[in-house]
Chain A
Amino acid sequence: KAGVTQTPRYLIKTRGQQVTLSCSPISGHRSVSWYQQTPGQGLQFLFEYFSETQRNKGNFPGRFSGRQFSNSRSEMNVSTLELGDSALYLCASSLPGPNQPQHFGDGTRLSIL
């Protein structure tokens, strides 16, 4: 069974640009969550999508947005990039429900110059 696939693995952008990251969940998983990992703040929840609807959102500015498609694939977008957005962005998929273990992809490492 294929795992969670995130593309691209690495990305370099400059301040002010925007970026789109992609996540393909495990087959059959309709819940997709995104997390940001930085050395200073650790792992922080960005948002969760289920059946193309955002169910939960973390404490991030509106520059961070996402969406989910009918095939459960998800994208997240960050606009007007700032230096502080440099991070590892992790996508996780699972069956719905807080008791379900989430399965993570390898992440996209975003560097802002």
Chain B
Amino acid sequence: AQKVTQAQTEISVVEKEDVTLDCVYETRDTTYYLFWYKQPPSGELVFLIRRNSFDEQNEISGRYSWNFQKSTSSFNFTITASQVVDSAVYFCALSVREYGNKLVFGAGTILRVKS
């Protein structure tokens, strides 16, 4: 079975601080895909990034960066110089080849960025 754990329920930071959101996953499949989604107060889930299990390269996109480590089954997400607009719920998710497009989500981390 697949499982995603986001141990941080809620994080509060002051604007311009860096913040890291943790994600730990479990799967027996050797081919899997990891995703991060953002859910602002309006409700829609916004896709941020996808990572394949066979590609451990870290990625940076503007103020966002992702650290994928298979050895610790983690796929952490860092926001540099946070802004109030980053306030949202962030979800980490996992899919495996056997179950097609089915996403298994973590519980989410509420990020509050204060000005």
Mark A residues whose CB is within 8 Å of B.
31, 33, 35, 42-45, 48, 50, 55-56, 58, 88, 90, 92, 94, 96-107, 109
Mark B residues whose CB is within 8 Å of A.
32-33, 35, 37, 42-47, 50, 52, 91, 93, 95-97, 99-108
Q: Are A45 and B44 in contact (CB under 8 A)?
A: no
| Nearest A-chain residue to B94, judged by Cβ | A98
Chain A: interface secondary structure? Answer: strand
Contacts of A35 in B (CB 8 A): 103, 105
- Bound CA span A42–B90, Å: 12
Q: Are A42 and B100 in contact (CB under 8 A)?
A: no
Contacts of A104 in B (CB 8 A): 37, 44-47
- B47 touches which of A88, A90, A102 (Cβ 8 Å): A102
Least Cβ–Cβ distance between A35 and chain B, in angstroms:
8
